[in-house]
Amino acid sequence: MKANNTIQLYPLFFVLLLNLCSANVTAQPRIAVLDFELKDLTLKPGIAQEVERTASVKPMLEEELRKSGYEIVSIPMDTQAQATAGVGYLFDHHDIAAQLAQKYGANYVIVGRLHKPSFLFVYLMAHLIDVKQQRLVADYLSEVKGGEKKLTRKGVESLAVKVNDTFRGLK
């Protein structure tokens, strides 16, 4: 009778083991989102409204990524500032951004820019960088027409959809 009960437990053990393995395979990556930088090419660069809008992008993007199940890794602003050798440095140097994110246990890092070539629209630009390989995985662009917060949110939501699409393609 004991041998029969043991044999019946093997299928249950196998199913539990399979579930544990698949849970590890499908675990969402840990993503660090750096503060977005403002690149304002207009005749009145750096007005308070644009500085504020730029600062709002990171928390909105983190919120959207959390909704999708990603674990967000926090990197202190002062640490990011120390790693930055100038405006656009981390955006252009994927290896340095990856090394920064690696110190905090991230698998990927998003480095972004709010590019404002006109008073009529801005581009939300973002690079998704694989921390381990220190290489660019994806380059995103989302156009936002107008300065209203709800329009900026739509642009951020568009970025989050693109990030999700990238990770679906990596699996």
Question: How do residues 36-76 score in pLDDT, each as one tens digit?
Answer: 999 999 999 989 999 999 999 999 999 999 999 999 999 99
Neighbours of 120 (CB within 10 A): 10
- Dig out the tokens for 59 from the structure: 């928390």
pLDDT of residue 49: 94
d(CA 79, CA 162): 27
Q: Where are the beta strands (DSSP E) in 20-147?
A: 30-33, 37-40, 71-73, 108-116, 121-130, 135-145
Residues in a beta bridge with 30: 71
- Confidence band (pLDDT; 50, 70, 90) for 170? confident
d(CA 162, CA 167): 9
pTM above 0.85, yes or no: no
- Dig out the tokens for 15 from the structure: 């199913």
Give residue-wise pLDDT tens across range 95-106.
999 999 999 999
pLDDT of residue 31: 98
**SS3 of 27, please?**
coil
Q: Which H/E stretch holds residue 65? A: helix 48-67
Instruction: Confirm if 110 and 127 have CB atoms less than 8 A apart.
Output: yes
- Phi/psi for 86 (5° steps) reads 160, 175
pLDDT of residue 44: 93
d(CA 147, CA 23): 42
Say how many residues make up the chain: 171
- Dig out the tokens for 169 from the structure: 């393609």
Checking if the pLDDT of 28 tops 90, the result is: no
8-state DSSP, 163: H
